[in-house]
Chains A and B, each alone.
Chain A
């Protein structure tokens, strides 16, 4: 099956700092999403981004599908950004839905 690796696995930031999270995947995809999982377990959809660049407030994401990676940028981080960030992908031409999650990046933003 498709492999999805995220880096770094853990990240500690001071409030106000910027960061870049990376997601590498091993095969062509037709769906890529970034999620934030809060301490209560809720998976919050940040971006649907199989290709290109999107921005939403302090967050932005870029996927370079031909090179099989995606980046999530967090600017001016806040303590509420803490949690686990997952990218998840669907492999191209599998016929049906099978969203595979990456290994995750655990982010802690301290005041």
Chain B
């Protein structure tokens, strides 16, 4: 299995809602990532988990809360979002530091709309 699976593919939520994005990989990768991509812009790093511990938080607002329950799963909990948080949220994984010898593998993303 060489895929990163993200669910849901599309999500519309109100500003008072709580929702979660899910990401799963079964490649034995020990690092997992959340990226945010606004329209016509490159992806930007939000969080890095390495060996199930949070190693990088790129000053992301607390309304985004990541969680890594085990080495295969990564969640992003959303609460009290703003319309400007509407974006494509991408999950990725890699073997460990430096991306190993194969680099990063990305999921197909969750397209989030906040109304």
Contacts and interface: CB of A to CB of B under 8 A. Distances in A.
B42 A42 contact: no
B64 interface: no
Interface of A: 30-31, 33, 35, 40-43, 45, 48, 86, 88, 90, 95-104
A98 B97 CA distance: 9
A102 B42 CA distance: 7
B91 to A, nearest CB: 10
Taking residues whose C-beta sits less than 8 angstroms from the other chain, chain B's interface range is 20 to 34
A100 B43 CA distance: 8
Contacts of A88: 104
B108 A40 contact: yes
B42 A96 contact: no
Contacts of B42: 86, 101-104
B34 interface: no
30 contacts: A31-B99, A33-B103, A41-B37, A41-B108, A41-B109, A42-B106, A42-B109, A43-B43, A45-B103, A45-B106, A48-B102, A86-B42, A86-B43, A90-B99, A96-B48, A96-B56, A97-B31, A97-B48, A97-B50, A97-B55, A97-B56, A97-B94, A97-B97, A98-B45, A98-B48, A99-B33, A99-B104, A101-B42, A102-B42, A103-B42
A43 B94 CA distance: 14
A31 B98 CA distance: 6
B90 interface: yes
Q: Which 7 A-B pairs have the closest CB atoms?
A: A101-B42, A48-B103, A43-B106, A31-B99, A42-B108, A33-B103, A41-B109
B21 interface: no
A1 to B, nearest CB: 10
A41 B88 contact: yes
Contact of A96 (B88, B97, B102): B97
B68 to A, nearest CB: 14
B90 A43 contact: yes
